[in-house]
Amino acid sequence: MMLTEDLEWFVVLAETQQVTATSDLTHLSQPTLSRKLARLEQQIGVPLFDRHGRRLTLNRYGRILYEHAGSALKNLQDAQRRIDTLRSPDIGTVRLDFLHSFGTWLVPRMLRSYRVAHPDVRFELHQDRAQFLTDRVSSGETDLAIVSPQPDNPALAWTQIAQQRLALAVPAGHRFAQLPQVELSQAAGEQFIGMQSDFGMRRILDEMCAAAGFTPEFVFESSELATVGGLVSASLGVAVMPIQDPPIWAEGIVYVPIADAERKIGLIWVDDRALPRPALEFRDFVRKNIWS
């Protein structure tokens, strides 16, 4: 019978299909991996990979085992989380998702503060675009997610935990650069650099432009807010971006505040699904503190 450690290295090997890469990721030597694979194939009774020199390719037997090994490993990890939760919320695991842009300031600030009083709590972290995070919370793949703006899904609970002022990011020397504030409608004729359509900042931009009475013309759509800032600094267009203090975006940008424009940041979870105790305690901690 495969043990947990066998499941772990086999899943990694099945995904990388390279002994060298698997050795680096699992911290097992290549000879040890080769012996483990030979022993596992002997135990199963069939080869699990087709060999092409140093390259391995999962065969039909290996694909069956990979499918079941992945499911078994996830079930064992879920069992461990439940056991940890019963033992104590201070040694359990919190599954937390967040937008990419929150990984540079908001999430590290939260974790540093929380771990002062809860040093043994583990965090399983995942970052992605807003729609993917909403789907992961809904499906139960994660406990909590930090997103912006508030999702439309009525099954998700939301509590606002922070907010950021929004600005029109323009290159130095732009005609708006000396203004103390701007109405977004003034930028109707500008070319925009924005996030891709399933990102939270793109939804915010689209809604703001619609309210201002125009549809933005995009010269580039990115999956990274830092890239948006970099292209603004190269005078390829303007963008709507959060004002960050201290600044973390590219140099050569002037942030002109947009009148009455803010990005609301919130924590989401499934409203009618009970959270594990460690996630519940972390949620309550986040709600009681100010993160702006």
The total of other beta-carbon atoms located within 10 Å of residue 143's CB is: 24
Element (H, E) at 116: helix 106-117
* Low-confidence residues in the chain, pLDDT < 50: none
Alpha-carbon span 11 to 40, nearest angstrom: 13
Query: pTM of the prediction?
Result: 0.67
Side chain identity, residue 122: R
pLDDT at 53: 73
Alpha-carbon span 229 to 171, nearest angstrom: 9
Alpha-carbon span 188 to 212, nearest angstrom: 8
pLDDT at 73: 81
pLDDT digits (tens, 9 = 90+) for 129-182: 999 999 999 999 999 999 999 999 999 999 999 999 999 999 999 999 999 999
Nearest residue to 216 (alpha-carbon basis) of 226, 224, 234, 228: 228
pLDDT at 74: 81
Q: What CA–CA distances, in Å, run from 157 to 133, 200, 248, 286?
A: 14, 17, 30, 14
CA angle centred on 265, ends 172 and 84, rounded to 5°: 130
Domains of the chain by start residue, with CATH: 4-87 (1.10.10.10), 93-161+266-288 (3.40.190.10), 165-261 (3.40.190.10)
pLDDT at 1: 52
Tell how strand 239-242 and strand 156-171 pair up. antiparallel
Torsion over CA: 113, 271, 292, 243 (sign): positive
Alpha-carbon span 68 to 91, nearest angstrom: 29
pLDDT digits (tens, 9 = 90+) for 197-214: 989 999 999 999 999 999
Alpha-carbon span 44 to 61, nearest angstrom: 9
Please, are residues 211 and 185 in contact by the beta-carbon 8 Å criterion?
no
